[in-house]
Chains A and B, each alone.
Chain A
Amino acid sequence: MWKVLKQIGRNGIRTEPAPQFDDALRVAAEQIQREILDILGQALAIRQVDAGSCNGCELEIHALGNPYYNIEGLGIRFVASPRHADMLLVTGPVSRHMETALRRSYDATPAPKVVVAVGDCGCNGGIFGQSYASCGGVASVIPVDVAVGGCPPAPIEILRAILTAVRRGRQRQPSSADHAAGREPENARAGSGN
């Protein structure tokens, strides 16, 4: 236990500021009323659906949970069922074999719901395109609110897309622990590669 505490104490808090939302990522007109977005924006439950990706996007979505992005610190949680979710975070291309499962996940998500398509393949099918086995982008199967390209998009871009979907723009303030350690978030980023 002592070693665990020492390790935690030595590393301190590494969380960096969340990105500002970006309306350029929106693909659909506002489907949801402002006041509902305010509620979703406070505590968001996300169901991630891999509809046929190469698993590259999943690696970067996983990274959102690491201490640098600390997505749970923003009140955002990945949940185990679409029935518990406010948002579907979908990677693609949508394979023909996942088409039904994706539709069912969408239908099982209670309204109001938002959909974020992740990655070049989620946007338009990417290098796999449309074929006997691929339906192409997520929007060819379910309605999409926000889409973020990239192969895969960096975690910060995925986080930006999630925050854009719920129009959440508040910057997280640097925590008091950062000040106590005499460390600015920028320094933590610059030092991270060494």
Chain B
Amino acid sequence: MRLAGLAFDLDALAAPLPMARTTVDAAQWQAAAAAVAQSGGRLVSLWGSDRRGGETGALVVSVAYALRDGLAWLDLALPETAPRYPDLSALFPSALRMQRATADLMGIDTEGAGDRRPWLDHGAWPAGFLPLRHDSKYGESAPRAEAADYAFVRVEGDGVHEIPVGPVHAGIIEPGHFRFSVVGEKVLRLEQRLGYTHKGIERRFTELDPLEAHRLAGRVSGDSTVAFAWAYCMALESAVGSTVPERANALRALMLERERVANHLGDLGALANDAALAFGLAQFSRLREDWLRLSRDAFGHRLLMDCVLPGGVTAEPGAAALQRMRVQCNAIETEARALLAVYEEHAGLQDRFMTTGRVTPELAAQLGLTGLAGRASGQASDLRCDHHWPPYDALEVRMATRREGDVAARVAVRFDELFESLRLIRALCARMPAGASRTPLALPAQAAFGAGWVEGWRGEVFVALELDASASIRRCHCHDPSWHNWPVLEHAVIGNIVPDFPLINKSFNLSYSGQDL
């Protein structure tokens, strides 16, 4: 398979979306990065694997790029002593934290990257322990007594002071540390320190049966459980070379859109609340509760956890449940349109939303802002529209974009996507294919690779899976779009006032668990 922009052939993966994998050398690694940057492609993910003992027998660093006509997964084998690979962060700034995480988890480092501080390793693991190396056993050495200090970048000058926040935050939010450098109320710089919810997900994958591991994928980030479970299942199905029934595909899309609507309803209420309009939270949280209760009735779980599984789906909503969903879509649309009118006419709310936390399209392109936040800054990409794959090809999804890049634009994209998803759900319910909703999967007897790529509500979710010859998981890498967007948030708050940070942060609503793994 040939992808435009790359000077070599790749092996196509048997997935519904165009994805292909190949092994490159260091020169091709660098040439490919330059070619992708040149052609306007984007970095999706970067991760490391321990394939010693496998057919290539080496430590490997991998990168996934999104090109116009598909996804390219490139592997670079590294020597066992002093494994190093050429830095990508000069071309793709969002690679930097992924490279630092790869160094922490795999002990493979870059040549040429400026920032080499640990990222996921807070000094709590035993010295020298590398979680993703198969020969690295936990318990061989004692944990380090004192957590290591982190070298935050200091801002100096007249009247500059620091505000440290977290890891335990003031609301019902995930943990992380923010270090603000401010003058008066104005934010000069924000530096994030994440990794607090690192719970060893990628190592845990290697201990699970491939046919059961969708449950773990569905808990990488609870708000994106359908997206991750689907991406994992797509990866496993592509490794096995199996396709799922038409009905299963339609039901997966139905659940993914329900997840998108649930999150958008929650965020639209919370954003108004952060701008002191509690009315918005009361109304939208009521709609969200109605939505989750019907999800429970139709699929058996309010958040749809474990409803997508290898080979298909568990849930079997009947004709009556599908009809209830269509009716509910109409009711929610009517209410949300009334609330949209309230939001648009509310001067106080618009004053807080407009020009706050701005990321210009130029900056977004340079830093690799992706997903929903990217679309609010003119980065027109949505996997549901970019590629033809079932069942989205039959639905003609309309992409929502804005160019202002402020909180107001991220609110507007959520409203547009909410209404579009309601339309898609109605269409899926009206034309739900009959037949089986699951096919049995037979695991292969040789090593196999698979990949899954799904547009979750926050942005593109990617899963890279390696099975070994004994049909167990050798490596499963889960990628959340928050990896790209967290660093951009640091830029979005510059020059804003400290009290606007919660609003700006909420307008991105990034996952801690999804990037901490």
Contact = CB atoms under 8 A, between A and B. Distances in A.
Interface of A: 3-4, 7-8, 11, 14, 48-63, 65-68, 78, 80-82, 93, 95-101, 105, 126-129, 131-134, 151-152, 154, 192-194
Contacts of B199: 52, 93, 95, 128, 131, 133-134
B327 interface: yes
A193 B122 contact: no
Contacts of B290: 192-193
B206 to A, nearest CB: 11
B196 A59 contact: no
A96 B168 contact: no
Interface string B171-193: 11111000000000000000000
Given A78-B172, A80-B170, A95-B196, A60 B293 contact: no
Contacts of B131: 132-133
Contacts of B302: 60, 154
Contacts, number: 170
A173 B380 CA distance: 52
A61 B222 CA distance: 13
Q: Which of A4, A8, A193 has the most CB of B within 10 A?
A: A193
B512 A55 contact: yes
B398 interface: no
Given A4-B279, A55-B511, A63-B285, 16 more contacts: A3-B341, A8-B279, A11-B286, A49-B175, A54-B219, A54-B513, A55-B513, A58-B174, A66-B285, A66-B289, A96-B124, A105-B168, A128-B199, A133-B200, A133-B203, A154-B296
Contacts of A96: 122, 124-125, 143, 198
Nearest to B341: A3
A57 B222 contact: yes
Given A67-B282, A133-B125, A192-B289, A101 B297 contact: no
Given A63-B292, A131-B203, A131-B204, A4 B342 contact: yes
B213 to A, nearest CB: 10
A93 to B, nearest CB: 6
A192 B283 contact: no
A49 B220 CA distance: 18
Given A127-B219, A152-B303, A49 B289 contact: no
Contact of B305 (A78, A128, A151): A151
B297 A193 contact: yes
Given A67-B282, A192-B289, A50 B173 contact: yes
Interface in B285-324: 285-286, 288-290, 292-294, 296-297, 302-303, 305, 324
Q: Which of A81, A95, A154 has the most CB of B within 10 A?
A: A95
A87 B195 CA distance: 26
A64 to B, nearest CB: 9
A127 B215 contact: yes
A2 to B, nearest CB: 10
A128 B138 CA distance: 15
A113 B511 CA distance: 30
A127 B289 contact: no
Nearest to A120: B219
A152 B124 CA distance: 28
A56 B259 CA distance: 12
